[in-house]
């Protein structure tokens, strides 16, 4: 018997370790979805979400830092105003 040489490659199912054609969308034995091209957009989307949420976090941190800087500056001015007469006595 001569094995038919097609372009289909048998790969080990990551779930049940059975031989599954890489052309199959899901494992016929356990139904696990193929880890080939389908998983890539998910990772890209996940990365995209992480980057955008990080930018959003930095933006919110920058906005939140403005009142903090004003408070620190005001407090520093008040402390400086109180302390400098004492230091110059």
The residues binding Zn ion (CB under 5 A) are 13, 15-16, 18, 27, 29-30, 32
Cα 19 from Cα 29, distance rounded (Å): 9
Pick 30 or 70: Cβ nearer Zn ion? 30
* DSSP-derived secondary structure for 12-52: E-TTT--EEETT-SB-TTT-PBPSSTTHHHHHHHHHHHHHH
* Residue 38: CB minimum distance to Zn ion, A: 15
* Residue 16: CB minimum distance to Zn ion, A: 3
* Residue 8: CB minimum distance to Zn ion, A: 16
* CB proximity list for 11: less than 8 A, separation 6 or greater: 19, 20, 21, 22
Pick 17 or 50: Cβ nearer Zn ion? 17
Pick 16 or 65: Cβ nearer Zn ion? 16
């Amino acid at each position: 018997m001569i094995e038919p040489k097609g372009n289909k490659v048998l790969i080990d199912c990551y779930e049940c370790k059975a031989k599954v054609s890489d052309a199959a969308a899901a494992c016929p034995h356990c139904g696990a979805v193929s880890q080939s091209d389908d998983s890539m957009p998910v990772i890209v989307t996940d990365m995209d979400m992480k980057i955008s949420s990080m930018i959003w976090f930095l933006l919110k941190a920058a906005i939140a830092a403005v009142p903090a800087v004003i408070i620190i500056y005001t407090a520093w001015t008040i402390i400086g105003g109180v302390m400098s007469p004492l230091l110059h006595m």
